[in-house]
Amino acid sequence: MSSLPSEPAAAGGGIRLRALTRSFDRAAPVLRGLSLDIAPGQFVALLGRSGSGKSTLLRILAGLDADYSAERLQLPPSVSVAFQEPRLFPWLRVWRNVVLNLPGADLRAVALAALEEVGLDAKADAWPQTLSGGQAQRVSLARALARQPELLLLDEPFGALDALTRVTMQKLVLDLWRRHRPSVLLVTHDVDEAILLADRILVLDQGRIVADTAVTTPRPRRLSDPALDPLRATLLELLGVVAEA
């Protein structure tokens, strides 16, 4: 399959994607003519069943997979990604992990500033294996931030964390988004997480976006808010989850 070099900058951090197709080997395509626009600064959540192609889409947007075809793929110049696993190098101290492969001088100052934003500047000189799961995930976020992304891609970033840490991390991501206003594409399994955080929720199924819903309830949102119930019910149904009585 031929890949298309991505076009230059969508103004201010947006995405324009048309007719994206990706297959593996001789299997049926995982993504089949998928089109998607994301406006600059928008916080978008992407839901979909396991195996529906969410990570495949994110890897292509992150520039980690060039083996796709598309009529158009327009991305901002600066894109960062964070995954479910923090992917830190154990032989590098925390601050060096944060600025790994970054060009420029005074990288320690850059690392410290990013670590401060996630509340971990005190751990700059620690080794990754001394961190808790939540702390390691903060370092991973700091590494994404240090690149000053106009587009932040998050692939189930809280999936491996305990419930309390997850809530703290969700607040942190919202906070960082408000401060820096990148576009965010957050892949999550969790309908409630999508409802709490996003401006807009997409559902991926059969290789395409099958639902695209704005979340208009102002933040901070409470999951107990009955105004969110119809949206939750719709999303669960689209995901093939039958709500319990």
Task: Return residues touching Mg ion (CB under 5 A).
Answer: 54-55
**Of 3-11, 43-51, 97-105, 221-229, which segment contacts ligand ADP by CB under 6 A?**
43-51
**Of 32-40, 52-60, 118-126, 234-242, which segment contacts ligand ADP by CB under 6 A?**
52-60
Q: Is the peptide bond before 157 cis (omega within 30 degrees of 0)?
A: no
The reply on whether position 28 binds ligand ADP by CB under 6 A is no
Q: How far is the CB of 58 from ligand ADP (least distance, A)?
A: 8
The reply on whether position 48 binds ligand ADP by CB under 6 A is yes
- DSSP state string for the chain: ----PPBS--GGG-EEEEEEEE--TTSPPSEEEEEEEE-TT-EEEEEE-TTSSHHHHHHHHTTS----B-SEEE--S-EEEE-SS----TTS-HHHHHTTT--SS-HHHHHHHHHHHTT-GGGTTS-GGGS-HHHHHHHHHHHHHHT--SEEEEESTTTTS-HHHHHHHHHHHHHHHHHH--EEEEE-S-HHHHHHH-SEEEEEETTEEEEEEE--SPSSP-TT-GGGHHHHHHHHHHTTPPPP-
Q: How far is the CB of 51 from ligand ADP (least distance, A)?
A: 4
The reply on whether position 207 binds ligand ADP by CB under 6 A is no
Q: How far is the CB of 81 from ligand ADP (least distance, A)?
A: 13
Of 6, 55, 137, 188, the one binding ligand ADP (CB under 6 A) is 55
| 230 token code pair | 């119809």
Q: How far is the CB of 82 from ligand ADP (least distance, A)?
A: 15
Interaction partner, residue 24 (Mg ion, ligand ADP, none; CB < 5-8 Å by kind): ligand ADP
The reply on whether position 56 binds ligand ADP by CB under 6 A is yes
**Of 46-54, 72-80, 117-125, 233-241, which segment contacts ligand ADP by CB under 6 A?**
46-54
Of 2, 50, 101, 224, the one binding ligand ADP (CB under 6 A) is 50
Q: Give whichever of 53 and 128 is closer to ligand ADP, judged by the CB atom.
A: 53
The reply on whether position 51 binds ligand ADP by CB under 6 A is yes
Binding site for ligand ADP (CB under 6 A): 24, 30, 48, 50-56
